[in-house]
Structure 1
Amino acid sequence: MDHLPASREDILRIYQGDARPWVIGYSGGKDSTAVTRLVFEALAALPPERRTKPVFVVSSDTLVETPLVVDLIRQTLDQMRHAARDQGLPIEVAEPVTPKVSETFWVNLIGKGYPAPTRQFRWCTERMKIDPVSEFITDKVAQYGEVVVVLGSRMQESASRAQVMKRHRIDGSRLARHAGLVNAYVFTPIDEWSADDVWEYLFSGPAPWGADHQALFDLYKGSNAGECPLVIDTSTPSCGNSRFGCWTCTVVQKDRAMDGLIESGHTWMVPLRDFRNLLFSTTDPQRKGEFRNARRRDGSVTVHLKADKAGGEVEEKHVLGPYRLEFRKQLLRQLLENQKLVNEHNPGSPYELITKPELEQIRIEWRLDPNEPDWEDSVPRIYREVFGSDLAWDLNDDFIFTGVEAALLDRLCADHQLPKELFMKLLELEMSFEGYARRSNLQRDLRALLTRDWSSEKAAIAAAGDRKRSQSYFELKEQQLQKRYADYGKVLGDAA
């Protein structure tokens, strides 16, 4: 390991060089484990009086991490916490940071109906990974003025990773500027190491917190995967083909890491793989219309026109909206059934695929859905049908209507040829202003509801296409007139 002495020297020199505290990004993979171990060993080698500043270890739990990885991370963090205390090291191991309940994967996908992430629409990374870690780092910056973020990034991982690391490096320094956070700097002690260097170091002896890294090695061996790095900004490459990360990841066509774990004996993960594959199937361009609403969440219907290369035939492309509520109900039921199956067959500790706060938030999102309000309050019913019991659901006076009223409205609106959803939203709007001394915003909100297109999906799409064609026609006429006026101006100028 030719790079080990230099890395140890860098750690000791930079740690003692100033008063800026460190934040180690620990993802549970081999690279972040190696960096954390290096720092532990370096601090242990220093006399107590020279351990002058704190080191924080932070990890990220998106709440949809691969269960085996979650178990290993939590076990290792607990070991680190006890070891730092027993050895008198200034290392504080934080609880894993998680996304806000309104920004979790399930609240966005099942609650709001966001379609499964794709390479073109990867809405998950910033909400679930970058924001929680950035908030942790920002808090430390506010407390100490500046911080150094220590990561296990290596240039040999990929050409894009090396390019990003070099671009932010400060000339003449081992530090780089953080791509998104002011007064935060990045230190990568093993950036010149190879994967073999990392494994050789990890197996050179036991970790300072008492582990031998065998469980980590077995996890890699079983999945044929590399770890998902701790993502700290948009320039950090997210998880790719065969990397440990979210078990729900649909950015890749096939989750080879999960397949490898199942083939190595973890057959209890089959329901998770099947559910991920179901989500991936909804990204098929030929099938999107089966699962998604014609309207977007703001109620609009979006149609784009694209002329062929010859400028003749115009192709109409309809931009679909969120998942339909009925499909979201199916997803929630299947997810809860999977949770039940996993905990019946998982030899380890019980695993929570979706948390109670997420279920509560999904109730609210469904109840207030802009296109398909769920007056039946379906979440508790679905949970009860799957588990045969109830949770201690929060009492919320926002649930002012029931399924009985929804059924009655179905009949009345059908008799009077009135869109049911419009009438439901009008009643909700009136109730939301109940008790207000001033109702100045009522007219504004009422106008917004009444100006939305509440016709059938087919009619709404056709109308949107007609509007787009009319708009394109007048834009073309305007361009022709502008060109004509420009030509006239040129002729008059030449005549003068």
Structure 2
Amino acid sequence: MTHQRAASSIPALYEEVRELYLADTRPWVLGFSGGKDSTCALQVVWTALAALPPEQRAKPVYVISSDTLVETPVIVNYIDATLERINDAAIAQGMPFRTHKVVPRIDRSFWVNMIGRGYPAPSRRFRWCTERLKIEPANEFILDRVAEFGEVIMVLGVRSAESATRAQVMSFHKIKGSRLSRHSSLNNAFVYSPIEAFSTDEVWSYLLQNQSPWGNDNRDLVAMYRNAQAGECPLVVDKTTPSCGNSRFGCWVCTVVTKDKAMEAMIDSGQDWMTPLLDYRDMLAATQDPAKKREVRDFRRRTGQVSFKAESDDVIPGPYTMEFCRKLLRELLEAQKQVQADAPPGEATQLIHETELHAIRNIWRTERGDWQDSMPAIVRDALGVELDWVVDDAAHYSHADGLLLEKICAENDVPMELVVRLLDIERSTYGMKRRHAVHHRIEDALSEEWRPLEEVVSERRSTLDITMIPSAPPAEVD
């Protein structure tokens, strides 16, 4: 059988799946996004293994789904319901499938990075979200299975027909004489792509002609794609996996593209309760406009330094300002409240989790000089609730302290942010017996750029002017 088989040879594909499954004791980890390709791959594997005697279906097949915590609400419900059906059907039919949802660590989540640390909305040039929200959680699960079993086989619903680049990447990692490929970044992990040779039409043909073994109606999947007019977002396990782009099965906050046509299509198809999500996403996308960047982002990078574009005095903007981060949180909570009021019963409308709010508050207070402790007031004003906020016994400063410090710094022409940073360093080591690192942290703080932007740019222009002056000819020697 040729590796580049036709999708019409389904019985041969089933036999190949069974042969690979029985060839060794390496567990399988099947990436499931809920979209057509991963559904097709899972259904192919399930149907093939169902033909084996029960005693031969001993090796586990872990079905993992990545929840970035900013998935489109409709998709969250669909995937949760599907995973529950897969679990129930696997138990009832004696199949070896076990479902798991992988999520990013709270300190790596989208909102903690954006609203907490001030990371700007993702773009094609700075797509910081993919690795933190998708690659790391999936790889942590895979590495845990590697530690447990020695090696694993990833089963992915990727297809060569997706793009020429994807086809090239898949062939590059292929093991000669085998249907497996090496994982691009994880040792002891291998990749099997059962529907690699399928075209898009062949995927839909298979799904519509073969009933779902776990009880889903694949026609519902067709309707979801028709309503969204877009493709799916695959489970991302490395940087070679295609981006979601305009994907229907992606994050509702995605700003990598100019317009989210998928969400617009969902709203147009009757789900207008999602309008606040689209408005918020469009507001994030607008911050990528060059003129807007100057309003909402600090001129310093997170390192405290100022960076310029090559051979110019054009400053490369840093993170969102603290003031804008407060605005982002306030509007996100207001959007959540509106969505929860308008959404049909049962929809996943929790846009930001309480654990994320606590993490953001901690970053604001310890890293960004939020002496006024603005988080509780913002949550109270937007949601009308009082959360169980942690009371820190350390030497925190109050809003009144901040006003007094601002007055003193202005009188002495000293940057208030610098003094706040130094005081926060002192506070964080307060009461410790050994403070051997405090001097290094103070030195790092003093080495950051604290001058006004105008002064920094003026110095840069002077430097550029000097480098542009032609050097004088060498003096003649008598």
Task: Give TM-score scaled by structure 2 length.
Answer: 0.93
Which runs of no fewer than 5 residues in structure 1 stay unpaired?
307-314, 485-496
Structure 2 distance, partners of 1:189, 1:411, is 68
Q: Which residue of 2 aligns with 1:354?
A: 352
Which portions of structure 1, spanning 4 or more consecutive aligned residues, are displaced by more than 6 angstroms?
none
Structure 2 distance, partners of 1:45, 1:92, is 18
For residue 386 of structure 2, the aligned residue among 380, 386, 390 is 390
Which runs of no fewer than 5 residues in structure 2 stay unpaired?
1-6
* Aligned residue identity for 2:321: R
C-alpha RMSD of matched pairs (Å): 2.1
Q: CA deviation at 1:423?
A: 1.7
For residue 428 of structure 1, the aligned residue among 424, 428, 437 is 424
Structure 2 distance, partners of 1:355, 1:192, is 41
Q: CA deviation at 1:442?
A: 2.8
* Aligned residue identity for 2:336: Q
Q: CA deviation at 1:216?
A: 1.8
Q: Which moved more, 1:18-27 or 1:460-469?
A: 460-469
| Alpha-carbon distance change, 466 to 97 in structure 1, aligned in 2, over 3 angstroms | farther
Conservation of the 8 A alpha-carbon contact between 1:61 and 1:98: yes
Structure 2 distance, partners of 1:403, 1:39, is 60
For residue 459 of structure 1, the aligned residue among 436, 449, 455 is 455
For residue 197 of structure 1, the aligned residue among 172, 182, 202 is 202
For residue 280 of structure 1, the aligned residue among 282, 285, 290 is 285
Structure 1 distance, partners of 2:435, 2:64, is 47
Structure 1 distance, partners of 2:444, 2:152, is 47
For residue 126 of structure 2, the aligned residue among 115, 121, 130 is 121
Equivalent positions of 1:390-409 (< 5 A) are 390-398=386-394, 400-409=396-405
Structure 2 distance, partners of 1:257, 1:453, is 42
Structure 2 distance, partners of 1:117, 1:60, is 19
Structure 1 distance, partners of 2:165, 2:270, is 34
| Alpha-carbon distance change, 432 to 54 in structure 1, aligned in 2, over 3 angstroms | same
Q: Which residue of 2 aligns with 1:30?
A: 36
Q: Which residue of 2 aligns with 1:437?
A: 433
Conservation of the 8 A alpha-carbon contact between 1:223 and 1:261: yes
Structure 2 distance, partners of 1:457, 1:84, is 62
Q: Which residue of 2 aligns with 1:161?
A: 166
Percent identity of equivalent pairs: 47
Structure 2 distance, partners of 1:116, 1:398, is 33
| CA distances 1:112-141 after superposition (whole Å, capped 9, x unpaired) | 111111111111111111111011111111
Q: Which residue of 1 aligns with 2:330?
A: 333
Structure 1 distance, partners of 2:40, 2:394, is 50
Q: CA deviation at 1:241?
A: 2.8
Structure 1 distance, partners of 2:435, 2:143, is 40
Q: CA deviation at 1:467?
A: 5.4
Conservation of the 8 A alpha-carbon contact between 2:300 and 2:449: no
| CA distances 1:189-240 after superposition (whole Å, capped 9, x unpaired) | 1111122222222122431111112332221110011110111101111112
For residue 70 of structure 1, the aligned residue among 72, 76, 89 is 76
The answer to whether the aligner puts 1:250 opposite 2:255 as a matched pair is yes
Q: CA deviation at 1:4?
A: 2.0
The answer to whether the aligner puts 1:224 opposite 2:220 as a matched pair is no
Q: Which secondary structure state, in structure 1, belongs to the residue aligned with residue 175 of structure 2?
A: coil
Q: Which secondary structure state, in structure 2, belongs to the residue aligned with residue 56 of structure 1?
A: strand
Conservation of the 8 A alpha-carbon contact between 1:19 and 1:52: no
Q: Which secondary structure state, in structure 2, belongs to the residue aligned with residue 59 of structure 1?
A: strand
Q: Which secondary structure state, in structure 2, belongs to the residue aligned with residue 71 of structure 1?
A: helix
* Aligned residue identity for 1:332: L
Structure 2 distance, partners of 1:469, 1:49, is 79
Structure 2 distance, partners of 1:82, 1:104, is 30
Q: Which residue of 1 aligns with 2:59?
A: 53
Conservation of the 8 A alpha-carbon contact between 1:303 and 1:468: no
Q: Which secondary structure state, in structure 1, belongs to the residue aligned with residue 62 of structure 2?
A: strand
Conservation of the 8 A alpha-carbon contact between 2:17 and 2:49: no
Q: CA deviation at 1:243?
A: 4.1
Structure 2 distance, partners of 1:399, 1:466, is 43
Q: Which residue of 2 aligns with 1:366?
A: 364
Q: CA deviation at 1:469?
A: 6.3
Q: Which secondary structure state, in structure 1, belongs to the residue aligned with residue 98 of structure 2?
A: strand
For residue 345 of structure 1, the aligned residue among 342, 346, 349 is 342
| Alpha-carbon distance change, 144 to 468 in structure 1, aligned in 2, over 3 angstroms | farther
Q: Which residue of 1 aligns with 2:4?
A: none
Q: Which residue of 2 aligns with 1:491?
A: none
Q: Which secondary structure state, in structure 1, belongs to the residue aligned with residue 29 of structure 2?
A: strand
| CA distances 1:37-90 after superposition (whole Å, capped 9, x unpaired) | 122222221101111311111010111111111110011001101111111112
Equivalent positions of 1:317-328 (< 5 A) are 317-328=314-325
Q: Which residue of 1 aligns with 2:24?
A: 18
* Aligned residue identity for 1:436: M
Conservation of the 8 A alpha-carbon contact between 2:231 and 2:246: no
| Alpha-carbon distance change, 70 to 398 in structure 1, aligned in 2, over 3 angstroms | farther
Q: Which moved more, 1:163-172 or 1:22-31?
A: 163-172
